[in-house]
Amino acid sequence: MRSNLFCLPLFVLAALTMSNPGQAQPQPTPDKDIRWVGTWGTSPQLTEPQNLPPSPGLTSNTLRQVVHVSIGGEKLRVRFSNAFGNGPVAIAAAHLARSASGGAIKTESDEALTFAGKPAVTIPPGEMILSDPLDFELRPLSDVAVTIHFHETASRVTGHPGSRATSYLQTGDSVSAGDLPAAAKTQHWYILTGIDVAAENSGAAIVALGDSITDGRGSEPDRNNRWPDDLANRLQANGGTRNIGVLNEGIGGNAVLRGGLGPTALSRLERDVLDQDSVRWLIVLEGVNDIGGSSGTNSPVAHNLIAAFQKIIDRAHAKNIRVYGATITPFGGSFYDKPGHLAARQQVNDWIRTGGKFDAVIDFDAAVRDPTNTTNLLSAYDSGDHLHLNVAGYKTIADAIDLKLFEN
């Protein structure tokens, strides 16, 4: 269930474009008058064998991926990553359009992305690229489809297994097709990692850094009811926070310090949080997989997590990012339920609540625990495994967040 993944060096966070096949060159300096804010994002990792693209595969074929944005805008750019690739990824063409339903798009909205003015780009291994800015009426809380026609791709694929969204993979070049009726379907994202919008000076983003509870295990596929989605809905409904984007940087099975799935929270902090544009707030909900993977009795895991959280706080504060600590939710009755693990969770939560290091505390634990047995989730919020929340549970923890934390 748990595995250690070998991680190539983190990709260079600079925009790259293709001046000739196989060679990427830096983009021109972005317009200094544009304030870019993330409206959607996902944390890339090395795709495990069981989560690789289905037949017919990416090479020479078309991949359509549907994502749900938070804030809107009239100009955007799209981020693609080959962070964990062992070879180049050649994009022959990439388009963006409003999603209709399933693998269909609203064809009147279909627009081609460019890279330094060209339709094609090659992403070297270990790197990422940003598209040129595109004029596009992006509506808040809407679904958009990013369609990529690939040439060459790497055998080690950069992706995000826990998309909880259906992607469509069809043979050949169908980058502008209104629908992909013959496509293979998969609930994973590949290569695509973010969308930014040009925003007013007051625009900013929240990053949710977490594990499977943030990634949305227990939520409904294609329904966008993870807790960061619910938070985005609340922000849009509140007049003072409609310019705030939400970026879900959760990875299922992720750990803060070691083990788990994907790069650890500490190792990916720079990429997923600190180097993103216009991030003003960070919500940290991590640690349950460190605790669950520890030996339990007399383990130093709680002490080590507290020290790691302090490092995250210090590094974020150095970038003028406010850090909010979310308490670890109950897991009594789950496969992590051991006396030493329960004690470690309580020790970490006590420090989050009373340590005074976070800029604010968001008490997810109190919102969803069973008041008669506080080591367990309330049954109404339990997905069934006694660890992950269900849709009602995710909405409850999102509702527990005080929106005033983001109004100044």
Predicted pLDDT of residue 101: 92
Residue 275, pLDDT score: 96
Asked whether the beta carbons of 77 and 147 are under 8 A apart, the reply is: no
Element (H, E) at 245: strand 244-250
Q: What is the reported pLDDT for 296?
A: 75
pLDDT reported for residue 11:
32
pLDDT number for residue 109: 98
- From CA 350, how far away is CA 107, in angstroms rounded? 53
Cα–Cα distance measured from residue 91 to residue 83, given in angstroms and rounded to the nearest whole number: 15
- Tally of CA atoms within 13 A in the half-sphere of 316 that contains its CB: 30
**Gyration radius of the chain over CA positions:** 21
- Residue 370 β-bridge partners: 373
pLDDT of residue 202: 85
Per CATH, the number for 200-406 is: 3.40.50.1110
Amino acid at 26: P
Give the start-to-end residue ranges of the domains of the chain.
16-195, 200-406
pTM for the whole structure: 0.91
- Within 10 angstroms of residue 57's Cβ, the number of other Cβ atoms is 17
Closest CA to 328 of 381, 281, 366: 366
User: How many C-beta neighbours within 10 Å does residue 63 have?
Assistant: 28
Tell me which residues of the chain have a pLDDT lower than 50: 1-29
Q: At what angle do helices 301-317 and 339-354 cross, to 10 degrees?
A: 30
Q: Is 36 helix (H, G, I), strand (E, B) or coil?
A: strand
